[in-house]
Amino acid sequence: MTREEIVSKVNAVLAEEFEVEESVISPDADIRKTLELDSLRLVDLISAIQVAFGVKVTTEELHLLTKFSDLYDYIEKNL
Amino acid sequence: MLYEAEEVLGLIPQREPVVMVSRLIDASGNRCHTGLSVTADNYFIEDDGLMAETGLIEHIAQSASAFAGHRYRMQSLPAPIGYIGEVRKFHCYRRPAIGDELQTEIIFEAEAEGVTLMSATTSCNGEAVADTKMKIFVEPVR
């Protein structure tokens, strides 16, 4: 899977899961603010990534990912 | 069969008349199967002889609770208290009737900071009865 394919799939999956426009998801955007993540929704992000890519992100690792570009990098590295 | 009748009460905090799990059939990894025998004295049976949809939600939540209780018990820990944090995409295809034997599959999909995301499918004799996704907050055992 190329970087472009990962970015496209992440954006589509998260836009659907969190009911936001894909256009608001950009590499430099803040994940928590954009997706309005709270403690209840954090688990949705972990599950969405796991289902879409088979990549398990731990809570600790997720806290280190602040921008969407960090998330793309993480998935690319762990695919 | 892992737990049946009175044994199930050791896994969940609910007591009669609102016990909505009759048995924990099996459990492996992140999934389990539970059963509920729908009897005439079930708390959620309405005047038309059918179970209220909220009874199905309660059955699914207690199934998850029984599964969590079993997992803790396997680690020699007391059963935790769990709270429903969110119910999403609940579909009820038909309301159960007296005499139905419900079977529910619970899958714990992901966990973060004490919140578990689970999916559930309830059927009766192979016919889909309900499905949903639920978030359960499990209070840490002290």
The CATH number covering residue B118 comes to 3.10.129.10
B34 closest CA partner among B49, B19, B46: B19
CA dihedral sign of residues A48, A53, A54, A56: negative
Q: Closest Cα of chain B to A59: distance in Å?
A: 6
**Greatest distance between any 2 Cα atoms in chain B:** 44
pLDDT at B5 over 80: no
CATH number of domain containing A54: 1.10.1200.10
A44 in contact with B, Cβ within 8 Å: yes
Does the predicted interface ipTM exceed a cut of 0.95? no
Contacts of residue B142, defined as CB under 8 A and 6 or more positions apart, other chains included, come to: none
Residue with tokens 């996704």: B133
Rounded to whole angstroms, the Cα distance separating A54 from A5 reads 15
pLDDT tens profile B36-80: 999 999 999 999 999 999 999 999 999 999 999 999 888 888 878
Cβ atoms B5, B19 nearer than 8 A: no
Residues of B whose CB is below 8 A from A51: 109
**Contact assignment for A42 to B85 by CB distance below 8 Å:** no
Q: Which residues of B touch A42 (CB under 8 A)?
A: 112-113, 115
Q: How many domains does chain B have?
A: 1
pLDDT of B140 over the 70 cut: no
Structural domain tally of chain A?
1
Helices (H), chain B: 53-74
Write down the pLDDT at residue B62.
Answer: 94
Contact B120, B63 (CB under 8 A): yes
Q: H or E element: which one contains A50?
A: helix A39-53
Which amino acid type is present at position A41? R
Residue A36 to residues A7, A32, B83, Cα–Cα distance (Å): 20, 5, 22
Identify the domain containing residue A51 by its residue range.
Answer: 3-78
Q: Per the omega criterion (within 30 degrees of 0), is the bond before B17 cis? A: yes
| Structural contact between residues B62 and B82, judged by C-beta atoms closer than 8 angstroms | no
- By DSSP bridging, strand B23-28 and strand B3-4 are antiparallel
pLDDT at B142: 60
**Non-local CB neighbours of B103 within 8 Å, separated by 6+ positions:** B25, B33, B34, B35, B122, B123, B124
DSSP E strands in chain B: the ranges are 3-4, 23-28, 31-37, 82-92, 101-112, 115-124, 127-138
Note the pLDDT tens digit of each residue in A24-73.
999 999 999 999 998 888 999 999 999 999 999 988 898 899 999 999 99
Say what the pLDDT of residue B141 is: 63
CB within 8 Å: A50 and B110 = yes
Binary contact (A59, B135; C-beta < 8 A): no
Taking only the tens place, the pLDDT of each residue in B107-131 is: 999 988 889 999 999 999 999 999 9
